[in-house]
Amino acid sequence: MQDQIQAAVEEIVASGAEGGLQVAVYRHGEPVAEAVAGPGIAPDTLFHVTSTGKGVTATVVHVLVEQGVFTYETPIAELWPQFAAHGKGRATVRHALTHTVGVPGVPVGTTPEDLCDWDRMCATIADARPWWEPGTKQGYHPQTFGHILGEVVRRATGQTISQSLRANVAGPLGVAGELYFGVPVAEHERVARLAEPEGTPEMTPEMFAAFAEQVPFFRVVDGWTAAPPAAMPTAAYCNRADVLAADIPAGAVASARALARMYSALLGEVDGVRLISPDRLREVTAPAVSGPDEIAGLPATRGLGYGLGFEGPLDGPTLFGMAGSAGTAAFADTATGIAVAVAKTTVSAGDYTTFNRIADVVAKAASTS
């Protein structure tokens, strides 16, 4: 598989479809492919992978549940009393993982500086009025997913979610230098610079207003929105030093091999490390919610913190993981034992052509081996 993946990666970059690309594939706990292409891209290069990082956040939570620190049914307000404001007292960790907690929005004027201020964001979210009663609907929580679960982790353990990630996931797996929420400033030189495709229009206030009228994701409710225009995950946002350094666990900064290794350690042992038990793996990858998504405007089926299935060559009911808005993705399949991750420099908003080209190679190579 290594040769086929490397050839595909080089072809994609040579075509101009991607400026830099990094791919890693594990199977049954072993690395079977690791490929890079593009100027300055190495196996340990770090990438801001936007919402692909939500799978990392969920993994930290599952490991802590496995350890007995809290449960999926623990009310968030039991750990974080302020969160009970405006009728959110019955919201649980499970609700947060499944995007059913009812707090998908932030103030429409939210800036990157706001997202970097942990205490400010948590105070804002705690005082938010829910858009629906927790547990009664599902709707993608683009930013608040990370802060809600991150504050649950902090309140329960006394550690920031970055500290918990290092202690419970990245450190044991030997990828503490390749799997981050907030990246130490000394490591910023290892982070690939992202770029928008040539000709990408800048989001103007007029465009945002038009989107807000037509697309649920952009709508504004009493001055709150799931997509604050000043803090959209553009290349400029992802390249900011303050964003890279901050804990914003709606996303992550990682190498493809760290992501693939993490997913492989959810499936089974990787060099003697298994993150969760087989029973918990079955629980977190079983459908927990299914139906219309109030924010994305499309049907969605979710496990506990992961999307289930992903349209393309690897799609199936046993596939779980997360994709990022910029076209990155990391998924694993409980049936085949395969984990695959793709990180890249070109911000192809909502376009997963590159991931699916790699997925096609993986699927064909796996079927013949």
Per-residue pLDDT reduced to its tens digit, 127-168: 999 999 999 999 999 999 999 999 999 999 999 999 999 999
Residues 6+ apart with CB under 8 A from 143: 106, 110, 115, 226, 228, 231, 248, 250
Per-residue pLDDT at 239 exceeds 90: yes
More confident residue, 350 or 130: 130
200, pLDDT greater than 80? no
Residue with tokens 């610079």: 193
- Residue of 305, 299, 301, 295 whose CA lies nearest to 330: 305
pLDDT above 90 coverage of the chain, percent: 92
**What's the pLDDT tens digit per position in 177-194?**
999 999 999 999 999 999
pTM as predicted = 0.97
| pLDDT digits 0-9 by tens, 34-44 | 999 999 999 99
pLDDT of residue 210: 77
pLDDT tens for 66-84 read: 999 999 999 999 999 999 9
SS3 209: helix
For 13-38, the pLDDT digits (tens) are 999 999 999 999 999 999 999 999 99
For residue 147, give both structure tokens: 């802060």
